[in-house]
């Protein structure tokens, strides 16, 4: 197995992993990239949505009025952020009378994070030889 890296120099590195074809490595890399480019991560890359997430973690179940009291954005912006977070599986909501209450969907959130770690553990050792044990 050839494993030469030149991280500190401008020379390119070479890597040959026995038994793993370039095509298989490309498929694995694509699988991981798709997971990292998912709605889940896109929902979490917006600072306003992170503020909503932090607020819901700190305060627990809340309606949009309560959330809006603690954030500088208009309710319409907060409403869109809540929808994105809910579609991504970060939050769940329940309608009670005229109010919709939001909270972190802990089960789905943890499942999604575990899926990401599992996928990374499956792919990284194949495509990033230096990280092996």
What are the tens digits of pLDDT across the range 63-107? Answer: 999 999 999 999 999 999 999 999 999 999 999 999 999 999 999
Q: Any idea where the domains of the chain sit in the sequence?
A: 3-131
Name the CA dihedral angle for 69, 72, 75, 76, rounded to a multiple of 10 degrees: -170
Residue 115 φ then ψ, to 5° = -60, -40
Between residues 5 and 104, which one has the greater pLDDT?
104
Q: Rounded to an integer, what distance in angstroms lies between the CA atom of residue 30 and that of residue 47?
A: 27
Q: Give 38's pLDDT tier (boundaries 50, 70, 90).
A: confident
Q: Rounded to an integer, what distance in angstroms lies between the CA atom of residue 102 and that of residue 63?
A: 6
CATH number assigned to the domain with residue range 3-131, chosen from the 4 options 3.40.50.620, 3.40.50.1820, 1.10.10.10, 2.60.40.650: 1.10.10.10
pTM more than 0.85: no
Lowest mean pLDDT among 36-50, 60-74, 77-91, 114-128: 114-128
């Amino acid at each position: 197995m050839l494993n030469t890296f030149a991280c500190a120099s401008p020379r390119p590195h070479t890597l040959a992993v026995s038994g793993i074809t370039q095509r298989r490595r490309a498929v694995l890399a694509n699988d991981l990239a798709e997971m990292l480019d998912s709605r889940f991560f896109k929902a979490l890359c917006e600072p306003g949505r992170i503020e909503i997430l932090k607020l819901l973690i700190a305060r627990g179940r809340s309606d949009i009025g309560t959330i809006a009291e603690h954030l500088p954005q208009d309710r319409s912006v907060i409403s869109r952020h809540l929808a994105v977070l809910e579609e991504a599986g970060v939050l769940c909501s329940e309608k009670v009378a005229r109010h919709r209450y939001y909270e972190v969907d802990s089960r789905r959130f943890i499942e999604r994070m575990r899926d990401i770690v599992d996928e990374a553990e499956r792919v990284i050792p194949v495509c990033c030889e230096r990280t092996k044990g």
